[in-house]
Amino acid sequence: MRTELSPLIAATTRWLTRAYPPGGGVLAAALCEAQVRQAVTVAAWLRYPTSMDAALVAVTGPGGSARLDWVTGSDGPSRGAAGAPDPDAAWRTWVDEVVASWAAGLLGAPALATAAISALDGTEHTDGLAVEFRRLLAPDEYDRRAAALLRHPDLLAPVAELHRAQLLTVLAPPSAAASPDGFPEAC
């Protein structure tokens, strides 16, 4: 299951680090990528909670980065000298818009990240693993400097707001007014 989500996690991490680049050198780039990869992993595990979900997205594909590119004002895939699409841009088809949005929300709101990681307890993804997301939950000064753009809620808002309501629904505990099957009680 973990390997089925690997292309999605890698591509979505790559997109976020390109859209919100790190500041200052190789170490900053590595620290930034580590934080983004942790946020994307949590978001992907929440979005695709079972091995069946992960297998289905591996077969159908996650949708790509086109809308995210438009929202952030990115040009999307770069063009070669002849105007042909960059052959290296195929990775963009593995970007998951919802996962990118959720990861942006987690990076910009520490309380949301804490709730998301708590929601993973006991899931198939964490079963039998000692999983730690320290760079996401408790970034040190170097982490914060490296990912200054990725930790700024105002800069992340266009992406984070795309699917924030859906993330909050996934993280919200069942309502007291809900019936045992999860549907709201009739009035």
Given a contact cutoff of 8 angstroms between Cβ atoms, the answer to whether 12 and 100 are in contact is: yes
- For residue 85, what are the β-bridge partners? 79
Residue 1 has a pLDDT of: 43
Residue 157 has a pLDDT of: 95
Beta carbons within 8 Å of 58's beta carbon, 6+ residues apart = 4, 5, 7, 8
The DSSP-derived string for 37-51 is HHHHHHHHHHHS-SH
Query: Per residue in 40-97, pLDDT tens?
Result: 999 999 999 998 999 999 999 899 999 999 999 876 665 545 555 666 688 999 999 9
Confidence class for position 174, pLDDT limits 50, 70, 90: low
Q: Is the pTM of this model over 0.75?
A: yes
Residue 63 burial (CB count, 10 A) = 17
Given a contact cutoff of 8 angstroms between Cβ atoms, the answer to whether 71 and 15 are in contact is: no
Least-confidence region, from 11-15, 144-148, 171-175: 171-175
How high does pLDDT run on average in the chain? 86
